[in-house]
A = this chain, B = another copy of it.
Amino acid sequence: MNEPRWLTEDEQRIWRAYTAATKLVGERLDRQLQRDSGMPATYYEILVALSEAPNRELRMSELAEFTRSSRSRLSHAIARLEENGWVVRRSCPTDKRGSFASLTEVGYSVLRAAAPGHVAEVRAALFNGLTAEQLRQLGEIAEAIRDHAGAGCPAASCDGD
- Contact surface of A with B, Cβ cutoff 8 Å: 4-7, 10-11, 13-15, 17-28, 31, 45, 68, 115-116, 119-120, 122-130, 134-150, 152-153, 155-156
Contacts and interface: CB of A to CB of B under 8 A. Distances in A.
Contact of A153 (B6, B24, B119, B144): B24
B13 A139 contact: yes
B11 A68 contact: no
A138 to B, nearest CB: 5
Contacts of A126: 15, 18, 145, 149
Given A13-B139, A120-B4, A142-B17, A149 B134 contact: no
This protein's copies in its complex:
2
A37 to B, nearest CB: 14
A135 B141 CA distance: 8
A31 B155 contact: yes
Contacts of A24: 68, 145-146, 149-150, 153, 156
A70 B158 CA distance: 31
Q: In the A-B complex, list the 5 residue pairs whose CB atoms are closest, starting with the nearest.
A: A129-B148, A17-B142, A4-B116, A14-B139, A21-B145
A59 to B, nearest CB: 20
Contacts of A116: 4
